[in-house]
Structure 1
Amino acid sequence: MSGLLTGLDWLSEAIPSATLKLAVSLVAVAIVVSVLLSYRRFHAWVCQRTKPLYADVISMTLLIGICFVCLGVVTGVWGRMEEVQQLYSELDLNSNVIPRAIFSFLLIVVTVIITRFVRRLIEEVFGSSSAVTAHQRKVTHRLSQVIIWSVSLVVVLGVWIEDLGSLLVGAGFLGIIVGMAARQTLGTMLSGFVLMFARPFEIGDWIEVEDNEGVVTDISIVNTQLRSFDGEYIMIPNDVIASSMVTNRSKRGRLRLEIEVGVDYATDVDRAITLAEDAIDDIEQALSAPAPQVVTKSFGDSAVVLSARFWIDKPSARRYWRARTEAIGAIKRAYEAEDITIPFPQRELSGRAETGGFRIADEQERSVGSQTGENGSDEARQEHRMTTPEEN
């Protein structure tokens, strides 16, 4: 190692001028910066000519090698190799430290290569599957990164620390304490992972959670964001969604609408049903299969209540209300053309026979009654004046 450190001392003698030393240093720094900036393009270029795994190894080796060479050139040009060697001697690094450092460094490089390989593997395996969304692929990649780096960190710590078991036990106790302090947050995060993989809904779906209804705009590990039909953004914690009843109106790609309409009791109900079905069938948003269906639902206070049911595809709030509005208008126009009455609520009043039922007073009786009422009120006022404390 000492010979390796002093091997570049000749650069300081070959370049005695400070100006040339500065120029060489700037060139070395420029090479490192250009390599870092062009690393992705170089990696893509190598990927086109060989396997991605080989491209990772070649590009990473080239990057590390160029950085070390430039660092050694700059140190040798300025004649600082002796100081590096002296520092190495003062640190008293034994023969086991350097192999450990090299092993740790190589393990980190291999970890970077493995994470990239796993990312490409996930994209190739799940990219062609329509059952796995891009969001789920991203989450899977992040989980794989956490697992791979955790294993690599444990291995590196095992190389440098002899009593790794006690450290892991302490970390376990610390994890338990943190988990108890933030159990709600951890529960929310676990619910977020469950929602991402269970897929009860996706971004763009129209869902209803308890009293909140809207379109899903984002699903994170902590919460789910909805955009209501009033333009408001609603943030719902994932643990609330996991413990609540969720209605997904977009899951099947179609939605059934139901409209109630009443017809007069004197109307031919079969004829009214046929007219309503024909009217809904002419709506642009209504699907032909399943076909629209109209059934009798109940006897209302003033009408026979019919239920018109039909389906729309690609359900959204706009399509829902547009189809509903057109269906109501079409049924009303069809009934008006056939003189079918849609009655408004009516109430019939009847008097008891033993009390003589209802009697309509004529104009003379009403005038007499009003005069009597006025006289009675005058007498009451006079009586009130007679009993006031002032007159007593």
Structure 2
Amino acid sequence: MENSVDTLWFEIRNAFDMTQVAEGLLDWMPRLLSAFMILVLFWALWRMILRALAALLRRGGIDATLSMLIQSAAKVTVLSIGVVSALGQVGVDITGLLTGVGVLGLTIGFAARDALSNMISGFFILWDRPFTIGDLIEIGGSYGRVDTITLRTTRVVTVDGRMLAIPNTEIVNNTVTSYTNFPHLRLDMAFTVAVTEDLSKVRRSALSICEGDNQLMDDPPPAVVVTALNDYNVGMELRAWLKDENTHIPARLALRERLFEALRSAGIEMPFETLSLTPIEVYGPVTEPKEKTPRS
């Protein structure tokens, strides 16, 4: 028992022998110093790359969100190479480390494949730029202004103040309508009139609501066209170009109301398809259907 205690005490004393600790530090000092210098070198290299990359992205007119994404990716790449080089300098097995990181990455990627799919779609949205922050868009029946574009979702604020977080894969796989890609937007107001109405009178009445409206453009001028010849009515459409596309919702609502009032004031009939039901009188006694008797 005493021999075991003495042996344990000897091992503990050797483990905390300051002479051996100092010798170990002296042996490791050159490697640690080299690793530190490598990290400092790669950090300085990253700062130089950042300045050059930022200037290049500004000259290329790259979107601010995409610019931040590119800079972050470049930072992770450069500093990761620096960390790996520093670890190799102190004797870490880089091959085994990279193998473990690769296996871990595959496991995480399989478990989070939906999130990764959204991130890849977000990268394509930022790169292709079908719309930018502040644009008015419509997708899948949802309409609003783009508030934020991230790698996972695109956040859209609707006209009634709701925030929609739309997955980027849904945006990539569906048709997106943008109302602000061009400086002007055309309002199309569909309506119907009776087949007996004078189309010239209808056209004058519809165009009268556009006169003096400062929200509408004079060139190209508003127009009224026939769009359909139906069995019960004539389909027509008032087309007017809006100066500011950001006001198209209130302008559309106001123009539709004024169009209805103008047509009604002019006595123009606006029929719609109806279904008439005529009751039929049945003469004679009504016999009830006989009940079927089950077979035995």
TM-score clears 0.5: yes
CA RMSD in angstroms, aligned pairs only: 3.1
- Per-residue CA deviations over 1:175-205 (Å, capped at 9, x if unaligned) read 1122112211221222221211111221111
* Per-residue deviation, 1:218: 1.0
SS in structure 1 of the partner of residue 21 of structure 2: helix
Counterpart residue type for residue 343 of structure 1: M
Q: Does 1:223 align with 2:153?
A: yes
Distance in structure 2 (CA, Å) of the matches to 1:250 and 1:350: 48
1:114 to 40, 45, 52: 45
**Correspondence list, 1:369-388, <5 A:** none
Map 1:288-327 to 2 at 5 A.
288-300=218-230, 303-316=233-246, 319-327=247-255
**Alpha-carbon distance in 1 for matches of 2:122, 2:198:** 55
Q: Which residue of 2 aligns with 1:68?
A: none
Q: Distance in 1 between matches of 2:153 and 2:106?
A: 24
Q: What is the TM-score with the length of structure 2 in the denominator?
A: 0.76
Pairwise CA distance, 1:257: 1.6
Q: Does the 8 A contact of 1:250 with 1:314 survive in 2?
A: no
1-side partners of 2:227 and 2:36: how far apart?
76
Residue equivalent to 1:52? none
Which has more helix, going by share of residues?
A: 1
Asked if 2 retains the 8 angstrom alpha-carbon contact of 1:280 and 1:292, the reply is: yes
% same residue: 25
**CA displacement at 1:348 relative to structure 2:** 9.9
Superposition deviation, residue 95 in structure 1: 6.8
For the residue of structure 2 that corresponds to 1:200, the secondary structure is: coil
Structure 2 SS opposite 1:231: coil
Q: Alpha carbons of 1:326 and 1:171: their partners in 2 closer, same or farther (altered >3 Å)?
A: closer
Paired residue total: 263
Distance 1:167 1:257, change over 3 A: same
- Cα distance, 1:220 vs. partner? 1.2
Q: TM-score, normalised by structure 1?
A: 0.59
Greater gyration radius: 1
Measured in 2, the distance between the counterparts of 1:152 and 1:178 equals: 24
> Using the alignment, how far apart are the partners of 2:134 and 2:69 within structure 1?
18
Aligned to 2:268: 341
Change in Cα spacing, 1:243 to 1:334, as seen in structure 2 (3 Å) is closer
Question: 1:127 is matched with which residue?
Answer: 58
In structure 2, the CA distance between the partners of 1:350 and 1:245, relative to structure 1 (3 Å rule), is closer
The answer to whether the 8 Å contact 1:188/1:222 transfers is yes
Q: Pairwise mapping of residues 78-117 of structure 1 onto structure 2 (< 5 A)?
A: 90-93=21-24, 97-117=28-48
1:172 to 95, 102, 127: 102
Q: Does 1:213 align with 2:143?
A: yes
Whole-Å Cα distance in 2 between the matches of residues 212 and 147 of structure 1? 38
1:242 equivalent in alignment to 2:172: yes
Conserved? CA contact 1:259–1:328, under 8 Å: yes
Task: Tell me: CA distance 1:101–1:336, structure 2 relative to 1, closer, same or farther (3 Å).
Answer: same
Q: Following the alignment from structure 2 to structure 1, what is the Cα–Cα distance between the partners of residues 219 and 47?
A: 48
Which ranges in structure 1 are unaligned for 5 or more consecutive residues? 1-85, 356-392
Deviations 1:109-152 (A, max 9, x none): 222222222332233222244x4222221111111111111111
Secondary structure of 2:174's aligned partner:
coil
CA distance in 2, matches of 1:346, 1:180: 56
Instruction: Give SS of 2:68's match.
Output: helix
